[in-house]
Chains A and B, each alone.
Chain A
Amino acid sequence: MRSNQISTSLFSRRLFVIANNIILVVLVLSMLVPLINVLAVSFTTDLESFDRTIKLFPREPSTVGYKILFERVAILRPFLNNTIVTVAGTLLHVFFTSMAGYVLTKQRFIGKALLVLMVTLPMMIPFQMIIIPVFVMMRRLGLMDTLYALILIDIVATFSILLMKNYFEGIPVSLAESALMDGAKEFTIFSRIYLPLALPGIATISIFQFVSRWNQFLPAVLFINSPTKYTLQIALRSLVVNQELTSTTQQVANNTRMAGIVISIIPLIFVYVFAQKYFIKGIMIGAIKE
């Protein structure tokens, strides 16, 4: 009787495991097949890229798509612009937010409550809601149609300031105190003692900044007009979006369009592979704060 029960439960367990894994395999394929497809098509010839076949591997591998991408579409300029904005923006972001985070760890100084409020409240004001006045502000500052506008936007963020503050608070105060005794200046304590000890926090912020700046879209749509200042996402959009509907523009073959996608995700995948643990850590902190 009892062994009978166990064997039926074992059977249903096995059935569940099989069904469960089949569903997961299907899900993984729904992610992987499109990506493999994109990669394969980017290496096809013009003609093959329009074929109505399932392409997981190019029939006659060709780099003509990439050639056109760099020659006729001139993707290099947007790619470089994107790199400049991403690197400069990320470095400055880390610098400014860790400075602010450090100040917030200080126990008592005049105006602390006000400063805390001033740097946390903006979390409630999403960028999307203030695009009109921010646009007006950029005009006033004379930064329209410059890469500076893109570097400047999000140069500090409440999330990063609070994250750095948390990391700094984990550092024993005695370290700073003994440095103070030795006559070290505030900035020296910050840059020589606190910053190096908060490296994991810096890594987390940098990676998130890198990804979001690399993908930055709305600010580029708002602030950039001249093609020489296009960032990758803007250039990519006119390349990949709805060419069937606006066929008045010169036709670019599917292989070139997919090549554009491939080169714009390579840096992201690179970062993801090498820094996965910081991603998961950052996601957790982001959600817990809420």
Chain B
Amino acid sequence: MRSIGRTAYRIRKDWMLYLLILPAVVYFILFAYLPVVDGTNISFQDYRFVGESKYIGFQNYQTVFDTAGFWRVFRNTIILGFSNVVLTAFIPMFLAMMLNEVMFSPWKRFVQTILYLPHLFSWVVVGGIWIFILAPNGGIVNAIRGLFGADPVFFLVKENLARPLYIGINLWKQAGYVCILFLAAIAGINPELYEAAMIDGAGGFKRAMYITVPELLRTLKVVLLLNVMGALRIFDQIYVMRNEVVAPKVDVLMYYVYIRGLEQFDLGYAAAISVFIFAITLVITLTSRRLMKYHV
């Protein structure tokens, strides 16, 4: 009895604290927790905005797994996602090591600043820039080819070029950002390690291989994890850059969810895919956390 009274007193005394955190809590309930519950719920329904939504058990999931289109976009997501995870970790790492060898610091700062620039831009801007650069009329790539007498190529509607181009453009956008993480990690390496290696007569290449790379492994793990978490969420780039010709090679899960759910209003079906992606992301994230902890 007395303790209830005391609890009530303490809650009343700290009312301001609860008030201050209230907006955050309400937001997360409305736009994180409830949607997770709702989403799972919708995935078991023949969901309608108007009229009654019937529960239909696992039928949506059944339909998802039976659709050829679903497995095609699943495959695309894995291919694009995996390439992005690997390339936007290792290449920025080498970039950072190269940049670290630059002695003239204004030049180094300049390179770093410029490399980071595309990360600031939206996918609409980056996609728009590349669509233009690669265009047959007015694009700079075809203009350069023209100097050598080559005919213009419409790069973005070449089916076999689509994935490499999308992966490359993603790298172009993200490399500078990831590079900054590695540069900071390099700056944190104990300089005595290098001095000792120099005295032992290790050349620049050996110092990079046996000191810098091992010292960067921790950062590499963090970057790989960040990339893995983002891998299945690719949406903006595809939404902006896709066209019907290359669609079979580049349409990804999130794009599929959007089209099926919010353009064709097959909400139950789309929700089932979302739940599935969410589950996979969780599994992949947890396993890669494990793997990296124990084996690197």
* A131–B138 CB distance below 8 A: no
* A109–B121 CB distance below 8 A: no
Question: Which residues of A sit under 8 angstroms from B135, Cβ to Cβ?
Answer: 244, 254
* B14–A54 CB distance below 8 A: no
How far apart sit A135 and B42, CA to CA, in the bound complex (Å)?
Answer: 12
* A119–B21 CB distance below 8 A: yes
* A129–B120 CB distance below 8 A: no
Q: Which stretch (A65-73, A174-182, A198-206, A282-290) binds chain B?
A: A282-290
Query: How many interface residues does A have (CB within 8 Å)?
Result: 101
Q: A16-B204, A133-B42 are in contact. Are A38 and B129 (CB under 8 A)?
A: yes
How far apart sit A90 and B38, CA to CA, in the bound complex (Å)?
Answer: 28
Main secondary structure of the interface of B (DSSP, over half): helix
A1 located at the interface, meaning its Cβ lies under 8 Å from any Cβ of chain B in the complex? no
Q: Which stretch (B62-70, B110-118, B158-166, B209-217) binds chain A?
A: B110-118
B223 touches which one: A152, A268, A287 (CB < 8 A)? Answer: A287
Q: Smallest CB-CB separation from A98: which chain B residue? A: B20
* B38–A103 CB distance below 8 A: no
* B128–A20 CB distance below 8 A: no
Q: A52-B143, A126-B281 are in contact. Are A139 and B49 (CB under 8 A)?
A: yes
Give chain A nearest CB distance to B16 CB in angstroms: 4
Interface residues on B, range: 35 or more
Main secondary structure of the interface of A (DSSP, over half): helix
B131 located at the interface, meaning its Cβ lies under 8 Å from any Cβ of chain A in the complex? yes
Give chain B nearest CB distance to A211 CB in angstroms: 6
* A132–B31 CB distance below 8 A: no
* A242–B243 CB distance below 8 A: yes
* A258–B42 CB distance below 8 A: no
Give the residues from 4 to 46 in chain A that come closer than 8 angstroms, CB to CB, to chain B.
Answer: 9, 12-13, 16-17, 20-21, 23-24, 27-28, 30-35, 37-38, 41
* A37–B36 CB distance below 8 A: no
How far apart sit A139 and B262, CA to CA, in the bound complex (Å)?
Answer: 12
Question: Which residues of B sit under 8 angstroms from A37, Cβ to Cβ?
Answer: 133, 140
Give chain A nearest CB distance to B40 CB in angstroms: 9
Q: Top 4 nearest A-B pairs by Cβ distance?
A: A240-B128, A215-B122, A133-B35, A133-B38
Write 21 A-B pairs (CB below 8 A) sorted by A numbering. A21-B102, A31-B118, A49-B138, A52-B137, A52-B142, A96-B24, A97-B24, A99-B23, A122-B32, A126-B233, A130-B35, A131-B258, A134-B35, A136-B267, A139-B49, A222-B258, A236-B128, A241-B241, A244-B154, A261-B129, A264-B122
